[in-house]
Structure 1
């Protein structure tokens, strides 16, 4: 994957998250600043998703731990390089656990 493809994949993910937060009735603030997307919940806790351009990874930092995802072309998904979990599944589970909000992407 080249840098352009990587940035497009991450930008698509960020846009999907932002649209979900904007389109539904969730009490979750979404802020994108450069390569960092921050979710802030009603309980004032935060979750951070950011680009790791040199590694072509997407990182997720939650109250309960950090995760590093790599793009798997064959599955067309971001997969955690330690647990093997898929990004969207882990994101939904983490949001529910951290904020109490149940949503889907």
Structure 2
């Protein structure tokens, strides 16, 4: 995968997160600036999602720690937990929001 393909694939992931948050009705604000997406929660906590272009990875930082995701067999997979990126984002959002979120 080249850098352009990497950015296109990550763009799809970030767009999916934005749409899922909007569709869920959860009180989560999000902003993307450059290579970083920030999710802000009511308690002032944050989840930071960062593109790591040199390694072609997505990094996620949250209350639970830091996680690195690499594209494996078409899925962004966590090197630490084996979870799929979008599943981890949903899980961490629920922890930060301190409530179950109705993901569509």
SS at match of 1:17: helix
SS at match of 1:50: strand
Cα distance per residue 1:59-87 (max 9 Å; x no partner):
00001201000011x2x210011221211
Q: Comparing both chains, which one has the higher relative contact order based on Cα–Cα distances under 8 Å and sequence gaps of 6 or more?
A: 2
Unmatched 5+ residue regions in structure 2? none
SS at match of 1:43: coil
Q: CA RMSD in A?
A: 1.4
- How many residue pairs were aligned? 103
> For residues 7 and 20 of structure 2, what CA distance do their matches in structure 1 show?
20
Question: What residue is the counterpart of 2:62 in the other structure?
Answer: 62
Asked if 1:80 corresponds to 2:42, the answer is no
Cα distance, 1:103 vs structure 2:
3.9
Determine if contact 1:31/1:38 at 8 Å carries over to the other structure. yes
Q: Give the stretch that moved more between structures: 87-96 or 46-55.
A: 87-96
